[in-house]
Amino acid sequence: MITIVSCHHFPDDERVYHRELLTLKKLGQPIQYFTRSNSELDISDDLVRHKNCPAKEFSIKEYITFLKNTFLETPPTIFHKIKFRIGYI
């Protein structure tokens, strides 16, 4: 499963969603897409499983913990992080 993680972008960000994610969807592979923002937008569809963690409720440390726990359940085969502030997961 392709996994994309962003720490400070809105789910429908021009670069992340419209360029990268929509291009990857053309491969027909399932995608996990994680964002941390103050948006309520859910862009999940038949290929994309989107989870947004509200920045007001999730510190970066809590977000990283959430991601680690999620990856234990559903390990990514391809991993791409957008913001380097989240360090090593």
Name the pTM for this structure: 0.86
Which domains are delineated in the chain?
Answer: 2-86 (3.40.50.20)
Residue 83: predicted pLDDT: 63
pLDDT of the chain, 89 residues: tens digit per residue: 899 998 888 888 888 888 888 899 999 999 999 999 999 999 999 999 999 999 999 998 999 999 999 999 989 998 877 765 555 55
Q: What is the pLDDT of residue 88?
A: 54
28-34 CB contacts, 8 Å cutoff, 24+ apart: 29/1, 29/2, 30/1, 30/2, 31/1, 31/2, 31/3, 31/4, 32/1, 32/2, 32/3, 32/4, 32/70, 32/74, 32/76, 33/3, 33/4, 34/3, 34/4, 34/5, 34/6, 34/67, 34/70
